Amino acid sequence: MTNTNNTGSKSSKTQCEWCGEKVNCDMWHPVASGTAKDGTFQLFRFCSEECRENWVTEQDTAPS
């Protein structure tokens, strides 16, 4: 899948949204979609399914 709405400001290095571990974009990795504070649609990447679960749980419990 190609992100056609890329801002071009980010480098190719990606970190896990939850623990900060490096995510290898060439390999499969869990992702989650969400809306950033500025209202833009974003894709969040994670190094493992466990990190994604933790992140999603926090999103659900955090006041919006």
Contacts to Zn ion by CB under 5 A: 16, 18-19, 21, 47, 51
Q: How near is the Cβ of 50 to Zn ion at its closest, in Å?
A: 7
Pairwise CA distance, residues 16 & 36, whole Å: 16
CB of 20 to Zn ion, least distance (A): 7
Q: Which is nearer to Zn ion, 19 or 35 (CB)?
A: 19
Compute CA distances 1 → 4, 18, 28, 38, 58, whole Å.
Answer: 9, 22, 12, 24, 26
Looking at beta carbons only, is 16 or 44 nearer to Zn ion?
A: 16
Q: How far is residue 17's CA from residue 39's CA, in Å, rounded to a whole number?
A: 18
Q: How far is the CB of 39 from Zn ion (least distance, A)?
A: 26
